[in-house]
Structure 1
Amino acid sequence: MEHAEGDLMIPMDVDLQDPFELIFEMLTAYEKGADVVLARRANRETDTVVKRFSAQWFYRLNNKMSTLKLEENVGDFRLMTRKVVNEIVSLQENQLFMKGLMSWVGFETTVVNYSRPGRTEGKTKFNYIKLWNWLYRESRLFQPCL
């Protein structure tokens, strides 16, 4: 994010499963005044049962424990204006829970829904061990304050 140039930033997963054509909907939402446009998966049919369960568990647990509510089924695929990107970069965080940081900074946010097609090439490198380690690490970042 520190090296991004321009007025808008749209991060995408490197596996390119997110549909490029959704960017046009995101731009329309931006033109209507949104500083952040979240791309929310309408369903998780292409995910394994374990992945669907762990995602559901993660969002429910986070949204129960934290005052910071995360929009469910939203990944890194989103549109952000320069002022949002600058705010995130200025935080100088070293524990990068990007979904949390991107939500925490606020700004006018809207959501566009989409269906993610199944993977057509290759296989995911994100196995159950990596998923567990990621969930464990992320859950430790948002411990309830007493």
Structure 2
Amino acid sequence: MLKTKWQHSWKRIEKILDTILFYFYNKYNLKVIFGSEGTFLPNIYRALGDSTRRGILSLLKQGNKTQKELVEAFDISQPAIKKHLKILLEEKIISESMNGKYRIYSLNVKMLQIAYLEMHQYIGELLDQQLVSLKNYLEKGEFRDEDN
């Protein structure tokens, strides 16, 4: 059974994206990586790899929050939230300050920007070759079902 160009192309793109994600997970599964500008970069994959941590970042995007406010926003325990905050702090994605007896958490926008630019650069370098290969493959016009 022949597939349409779009169906076959999408399957190929999914394989490329899986390859890219696998590459980054294996290559940069370190606590901290060193960026091209001489800065320490967070392991953004560790920081964003959990839905609770992504939720915390979404809340902090709206403004600074106390630990109590963050705990109240989730249906998990305070120690569990503290564990997620610790990971985000270790990766320097968020910062912590004290206001009296309260810990105030905020996004570290500069580190997020640096991590985003570095990821964009690395993914771009990987995709350049993959997209050239995909372009060449599509121009050949060979669209057959790989399942047969």
Q: TM-score range by the shorter chain?
A: under 0.3
TM-score of the superposed pair, with normalisation by structure 1: 0.21
TM-score of the superposed pair, with normalisation by structure 2: 0.21
Pick the structure with more helix per residue. 2
Give 1 or 2 for the bigger CA radius of gyration: 2
